[in-house]
Structure formats: C-alpha cells, structure tokens
Amino acid sequence: MIEFKLPSLGADMDEGTLLEWRVKPGDAVKKGQVIAVVDTAKAAVDIECWQDGTIVELLAEVGQKMPVGTVMATLLEAGEKSLPSLPASLPQGERGGSQLPSPLAGEGLRERGNAPAQRRMISPAARKHAAEKGVDLDSLTGSGPHGAVILADVETAAAQGAAAASRPAVAATTEVPSAEKGAARIAAMRQAIATAMARSKREIPHYYVSEDIPLARALAWLQTANSQRSMAERLLPAVLLLKAVAVTLRGYPELNGWWRDGSFVTAERSNPGVAISLRQGGLIAPALLDAGSKPLTQLMQELTDLVQRARAGSLRSSELTDGTITVTNLGDQGTQTVFGVIYPPQVALVGFGRIVERPWAEDGGLKVLPVVTASLAADHRVSDGHRGALFLRELAELLQHPEELDKEAS
C-alpha cells in the first residue's frame, strides 16, 4: 500500500486546498497522470502521481485545506494484492519511500491525451473561468476534443447565465466577492514569495558574477531563421538564452540541482525554471523540463504554453518541483542587469537583462553591437565564484555559435 501525500510544490508552498479529484477508488493510474487539482497561493496545480498503481481510497475531501505531507489517498502498487484487513489510512511514517513526485515526471505532458475515457476533461482555463463566473461545469456539454469542456463552453454558459439573470443584482453580488478573492490571492502570493525569498537570503550564502555577452551573431542567426518561419513559429531570443543555459549546465553539475537535508544533489537533466511575472502581481517559475535536449522550435512552443498556463493559474506539479535552476529574463522592457535571489532548494539563478546596443571594443577597434548582461547568483555552499565565472564565460562562447543550439538532439 502506498500513501499518496500532498507534495511540496516549492519553497513557497506549505499548504493547498483540494479543488477536485480526477480519479476514483478502483482506477488504475499511471506515473505522471494527473490525479487531483490543488489550489495554492500561486496557482491551481494539477497533481501528478509519481508511480503506477491502483487507487484504493480517497482520503482528502474537496474543499479541504491541508499542509504539505498530508496523506491524500492510498494506492496499491502494481501487482500488489488488496488487503481488506489493512486500515485504509496508515500512520504517517516512512512507508512508501519518498513522497515527492519523481523528478522528471515529464511523462505528464504526454499522458494527458490518453486519460481514462470516463474522466471528464476540462481545460484548466475553462475550470478557472468557471470558478470565477460561478458556472457549474457538470451542466456543460464539452465542444473540445473528446468532449472536453473548453474555455468557449464556459464563456457561452456564463454569457447565457448573465443574460438570463437580472443584471444589477447579479453584478452586485458576484463582482464584490471576486474582487475580494483577487485581493486575498495577491496577498497570499506576496506571503508565499516573502517566505521563500526570506528563507533563501537567510540560508543560502549567495555569490554573484556577471558577464556582458555580445549577441550580434545570435540575433542575426535568429533573424534569418525567423524570416523563414511563419509568425506562429517565430523564435524569441529568450528561447536561445534558455537553451544555451541548459546546454552549458552539462559541464557545471554543481549549479544544477538541489540542496536537500544538508547536502547537494546533482540533477541528471537541466530543467530551467522560467520566472514568469503575473499580471495581477507576483511571479512563478515553472520548469521547462529537459530544455537542453529539445530543439528550439519545441522549446518555443513549450515556453509559450508555460507562460499561458502560468498566467491562467494552471500548472502541473512536476513543473513546480522539478526546476533545477531558475532563469530570469527581464526582456526588452527591463533594465540592463538583474541579480536574482536563488529559489530554494535550487542552488543557482541566471539572470538576463535587456538586450541593448552598446559600444564594444574588439581587436583594437570599436563597434556597436547588441549586448546582454548575464548574471549568476549561486550558492557558495556548493560552488565557488571561479566556477561560476567559467560557467558564464562558456555560456557567452556558446551564444557565439547559435547554430549549435538548434541541433535536433545534442
């Protein structure tokens, strides 16, 4: 018997509220399958199962607020026989080994499509919109693939509902609570960020290095590549930078992983968490899994999807737990330099400022080139400034060969 506990979804998350079960007792579940949706201070998170099994009992109730580590359900391992005499809820303890979802449970990305037929498929955007508008999802007929309820269905239902109801009364009763809820969510998000960042500054001895990287070649390469692509397939410089970080990290395992229980654990792959600012304030840094081995086109699609879902408040648990480093990119509206605060239990953060044309001295001459300042904040318990500096120099060198970054698999 396995106890499925509410996993920690990051240093800034210590409790969650169960919004929905996606499984019922008797269901076979696969590793990476979404079994529940839990609301946190930052987003509604699709909780993925970390191994194959069969659901025995659902212990957590919808609407229940629970701390990380709460046993939410019990499962039988594949091949394990049901033991009716066994109490359904085992005492809290070391049973079942690590209760964290396995790192790199990237299968979740693909498992989604072949979910059991009996499960109602509702897009995260639809769910969020329905909650905001008070639309009953059970009453809707889905018009998406395989009968999935999509945002348009909810919008139609919300519009019909609003038209049918007497307007002034509805507006008065629904808008006030939703604004209050929004304010409460922003306050919770600020508190979550405060907790994680205070812990980081208290526990992690940060050191910082930075390097100006000329991007003339990278941007020229990107311009040529984009001129041959349709608008929907165009690449942003951010994708090139992310891939370059992930590839360079291969030679610097001491920057890629987690500080856990007093020692450093190197991650096998690099899953850069992408800091995404949210429109209502605050930020979240879900991971792009195994970014180093993915072609740029795929990374761009995944980044677009990640930003959209982060802003819609719908992410998967593996995306919040599997980040091995954070990349913050201020983009073209930002300042030239950013020094970040490491997101525990990670041990490093790479920051990119705005790309700007600057005077650049080279080979005894002076040119004007697009340049980005890359910075590294890293954990001195694990690495030293010398290695951190080498990492940035190697990153700068790799970005002079952008074509290398577009190899299908490297």
Binding-site ranges for another protein (CB under 8 A) = 223, 226-227, 231-232, 234, 236-238, 277, 279-280, 303-304, 307, 331-333
- Smallest gap from Cβ 171 to another protein, in A, equals 18
Task: List own/partner pairs for 26-31 with CB under 8 A and 24 or more apart.
Answer: 26/54, 26/55, 27/54, 27/55, 27/116, 28/52, 28/53, 28/54, 28/116, 29/53, 29/54, 29/55, 29/75, 30/107, 30/111, 31/102, 31/105, 31/107
- Smallest gap from Cβ 295 to another protein, in A, equals 18
- Smallest gap from Cβ 307 to another protein, in A, equals 5
| CA nearest neighbour of 11 among 271, 202, 238 | 202
- Between 223 and 263, whose beta carbon lies closer to another protein? 223
Task: List own/partner pairs for 109-113 with CB under 8 A and 24 or more apart.
Answer: 109/289, 109/316, 110/32, 111/30, 111/32, 111/33, 111/34, 112/34
- Between 267 and 306, whose beta carbon lies closer to another protein? 306
- Between 85 and 227, whose beta carbon lies closer to another protein? 227
Could you say which DSSP state residue 217 is in? H
- Between 85 and 230, whose beta carbon lies closer to another protein? 230
- Between 232 and 366, whose beta carbon lies closer to another protein? 232
- Between 54 and 328, whose beta carbon lies closer to another protein? 328
Look up residue 128 and give its two tokens. Answer: 């969020």
Examine residue 345 and say whether the peptide bond preceding it is cis (omega within 30 degrees of 0): yes
- Smallest gap from Cβ 125 to another protein, in A, equals 12
- Smallest gap from Cβ 322 to another protein, in A, equals 22
Rounded Cα–Cα distance for residues 107 and 105 (Å): 5
- Smallest gap from Cβ 226 to another protein, in A, equals 5
- Between 8 and 329, whose beta carbon lies closer to another protein? 329
- Smallest gap from Cβ 224 to another protein, in A, equals 10
Angle at 63 between CA 57 and CA 69, to 5 degrees: 60
